[in-house]
Chains A and B, each alone.
Chain A
Amino acid sequence: MGVIDLKNRYCRAFTMPEVALAVGVVAFGLVAVFSVLPFGIKAQRDNRDDTVIRYEGEYWAEALLGEGLDLADLSRVEMVQTYDGNTTSPLVFSYPKNTPNNSPEKKTWVRDVCGWLSRPASDGQGNVISPHGNFALVKSFNGSLFDRKYGDANMAEDENRDFAFGYILEIVPEMIDGGKGCRLRLKFSWPLSEEDYFGIRNGTVTLKSRSGKLARKKEWELRMPGKQIVPVLWRCDLNLRERLFMEKMSGRYYSGASVKAADMTDPQVFKVLEANALKRFSQANGYRVMVRGRVTDPFQLADQLPNVPATFAGGHVGMNLINVQNGESYPLASVLGVQGPVRFGSVKVPSVRDLGSVLTPGPFPGGDIERFKIAFLEPQEAGEDVLRLFSEEQSGRRYFGLNQPWRPLLIDADGEFYVAQPMFETTHRPAGAWEKVGPNPFEGNPNAPRMFMIRK
């Protein structure tokens, strides 16, 4: 009996299987605990990303409805892809990182981005514009300063750049009610892996395919209404006189101020050079003029001026060289000083030539120049005539390369005239006839997709 007691007591120690089982259970518990931790950390990161994306959404919504705001941050848009007509491969535009900071491409990039991203699926007239949506590869505007620093366009070559938070933005603007209204859908897809960036940059994948429902890709969508989607007004849509007018008046669109007939004769708006002033400036600067269609010198060829052929029937600089003695006027193509072209309009993009050919045989000589003056209005024209002309419907007229009915430059509201839409400067557009001539011609891109503007 005593033997049995002792034996039972010593059997209470853990056996090896028991210990192994216990260790197994503990290990299982630990693994379970550790496997939960990354979810907590990931949840934190996801929350941060969500916050950033919502701020990005609000920023983009205002930027797109801002009608061409000068926003430096849009240089963080690395690439835009849009579609033209029924083609399935996208048109790709990349940030011009290798051009100088004051290059026209960089200066207009911000507005170009908004112009491309605002392209609707169709123009409301049954014409297909961008049926697959518009896409942008963006480094976030908001977030940590690390992301700000390495997401900056100037850090394009830095190895840390792709660690900066980025996303794909898809924008689908839709015209509704036959073009009388519109709505916008903005979809954000993130995060982007190194593989994503690699594929996108070397062109093996498109932003459209990467913004789809890929595994592990998060998405957030924002829908908002707009007022109207309209084609932006390019220089090549206008003749020279209209261009000059819009250069001076585009600012009124944003201020909401009306255009007055008196503005047409106001020398503060449209420079006027009367005979004496023209003579004085000519003697000081060696002015030479080019009249429409032909390089000429009014002194040597004064008698031939009425016979100048109207080769460039499409337009003129907007200023007229007027013979004050007999009232004859000649539309000007350019006026030159020794320092270069005298610009009656304020052309903000230097390399986008406005006036075509520039060389003339010689300056105005002292005597004959007194017969001339330079003004916006023709001798028999009143300011009101110009306003009415620019507010008239022009049946059959279309935007350059687009089957879209022309919208008058001015809206006539019971005798008050308002600018209907501003003129957009860009290098991503076709060149007008006047821009293809001269020593520094602007060739443009004849196949550039039309940009649009969304009104709030």
Chain B
Amino acid sequence: MLILKNINRRRNAFTMVEMMAAVTISIILILLMYGIFDKVQTVFVVGQNRARAMEEARAAMDMLKRDFESIDGAEPLEIKLRGRARMPVGEVLNPFFVQTSFTSEDDGYRLVEYMYGGRNTYEMAGLPTDSPVGAIWLWRSPVVVSKSQLSEKKAIHRSQIQDFDRANMGGGYPENLVAYGKMIDGVIHFGVRKVAPAVEGARETHLEIEIAVLDQKLMKEVEYGLGQALEGETDSFKYQRRMELILENLDRVYFFRQLVRLN
């Protein structure tokens, strides 16, 4: 009597088959959930990358805008073309790069210079020939109270620190560059152009500033991912492949255009 009761009770526990079925279902569910989480995580990371790229681009754009708004109208604004991309991006952007220098007037005077350069150096000679991706570099002189203090002294100072940089670059310490600071990385387009009203003889009254920036993940894929995959290929082939990858990911490249009134 006692033994029979025990046997009956044991039948209420899960059998091996039940357990296996349950485990299998659980594994399927876990895999399914992992898949969903993975997808969500990917979307989230992509979103985060985008947000970060936009944040960086916005910060850079705000800085550019603030500086250009404080241009001293009495002094010349120089805009020099530094180069053009060898391939257009889609049908709407034909990237080009400028170097622009001006005197800023805001609680004093100072010289400001923005230029497009390579990711590791602002020097033209350092611009890579195998990649369309670069950076915007910035130099600001110390603020002085009188414009006369700006002129030659500052230019000489800048040229001295550039010489210093050049000397150091031979030793391979690009991170120690002091003449220009890297403002934003992963840039494929930096344009500044003067805009005039559509009337003959009208003077330019505004500036249009444009930048196009890759998100960090795309930049890594373009620069390092393809760099490894294309090792041994010619520079022009690498350049073309990199540009093609950018073209395939237009939603991960951010373009900002702002209008600034000249003083």
Complex contact B202–A251 (CB within 8 A): yes
Complex contact A55–B198 (CB within 8 A): no
Complex contact A66–B259 (CB within 8 A): yes
Q: How far is the CA of A75 from the CA of B4 in the complex (A)?
A: 89
A425: which of B9, B91, B198, B252 is its contact (CB, 8 Å)?
B198
Q: A70-B198, A145-B90, A149-B92 are in contact. Are A55 and B256 (CB under 8 A)?
A: yes
> 1/0 contact trace for B43-72 toward A, CB 8 Å?
110011011001000100100000000000
In the complex, what residues of A have CB within 8 A of residue B152's CB? none
A264, chain B: closest CB distance, angstroms? 16
| Closest residue of B by beta carbon distance from A9 | B9
Highest count of chain A CB atoms <10 Å: which of B2, B9, B259 = B259
Q: How far is the CA of A253 from the CA of B104 in the complex (A)?
A: 26
Complex contact A69–B200 (CB within 8 A): no
In the complex, what residues of B have CB within 8 A of residue A48's CB? 50-51, 54
Determine whether B129 belongs to the interface, using a CB cutoff of 8 Å to chain A.
no
In the complex, what residues of B have CB within 8 A of residue A346's CB? 200
In the complex, what residues of B have CB within 8 A of residue A146's CB? 250-251
Q: How far is the CA of A7 from the CA of B260 in the complex (A)?
A: 85
Determine whether B146 belongs to the interface, using a CB cutoff of 8 Å to chain A.
no
Determine whether B6 belongs to the interface, using a CB cutoff of 8 Å to chain A.
yes
Q: How far is the CA of A34 from the CA of B43 in the complex (A)?
A: 14
Q: Using a Cβ–Cβ cut-off of 8 Å, how many residues does chain B contribute to the interface with A?
A: 51
Chain B residues 222-263 with CB under 8 Å of chain A are: 250-261
Main secondary structure of the interface of A (DSSP, over half): helix
Main secondary structure of the interface of B (DSSP, over half): mixed
Determine whether B199 belongs to the interface, using a CB cutoff of 8 Å to chain A.
yes
Q: A6-B5, A143-B255 are in contact. Are A250 and B202 (CB under 8 A)?
A: yes
Q: A254-B196, A255-B203 are in contact. Are A62 and B259 (CB under 8 A)?
A: yes
In the complex, what residues of A have CB within 8 A of residue B2's CB? 2-3, 6
Complex contact B44–A40 (CB within 8 A): yes
A113, chain B: closest CB distance, angstroms? 12
Complex contact A41–B197 (CB within 8 A): no
A6: which of B9, B33, B54, B198 is its contact (CB, 8 Å)?
B9
B214, chain A: closest CB distance, angstroms? 10
Determine whether A445 belongs to the interface, using a CB cutoff of 8 Å to chain B.
no
In the complex, what residues of B have CB within 8 A of residue A247's CB? 200
Q: How far is the CA of A142 from the CA of B257 in the complex (A)?
A: 6
Complex contact A69–B205 (CB within 8 A): yes
Complex contact B261–A145 (CB within 8 A): no
| Closest residue of B by beta carbon distance from A252 | B201
| Closest residue of A by beta carbon distance from B207 | A62
Chain A residues 79-94 with CB under 8 Å of chain B are: none
Q: A48-B51, A51-B54, A62-B206 are in contact. Are A145 and B253 (CB under 8 A)?
A: yes
In the complex, what residues of A have CB within 8 A of residue B58's CB? 51, 55
Complex contact B9–A144 (CB within 8 A): no
Q: How far is the CA of A66 from the CA of B36 in the complex (A)?
A: 50
> 1/0 contact trace for A392-403 toward B, CB 8 Å?
000000000000
In the complex, what residues of B have CB within 8 A of residue A30's CB? 33
Complex contact A144–B43 (CB within 8 A): no
A residues adjacent to B (C-beta < 8 A): 2-3, 6-7, 10-11, 13, 30, 34, 37, 40-41, 44-45, 47-48, 51, 55, 58-59, 62-63, 65-71, 73, 107-108, 110-111, 141-146, 148-149, 152, 154-155, 247-248, 250-255, 346, 348, 422-423, 425, 456
- Other than the given A48-B50, A62-B260, A254-B196, 9 more pairs (CB < 8 A) read A37-B44, A41-B40, A62-B258, A66-B261, A68-B199, A69-B206, A148-B92, A250-B199, A348-B200
Could you list 23 A-B pairs, sorted by A, with CB under 8 Å?
A3-B1, A6-B5, A7-B5, A10-B12, A44-B50, A59-B259, A62-B206, A62-B260, A63-B259, A66-B195, A66-B205, A68-B199, A70-B198, A71-B195, A108-B198, A143-B254, A144-B255, A145-B92, A148-B90, A148-B250, A348-B198, A422-B199, A423-B199
B residues adjacent to A (C-beta < 8 A): 1-2, 5-6, 9-10, 12-14, 33, 36, 40, 43-44, 47-48, 50-51, 54, 58, 61, 89-93, 195-203, 205-206, 208, 212, 250-261
**Which 9 A-B pairs rank lowest in CB-CB distance, beginning with the nearest?**
A251-B201, A10-B9, A44-B47, A62-B259, A254-B202, A146-B251, A70-B198, A145-B250, A255-B203
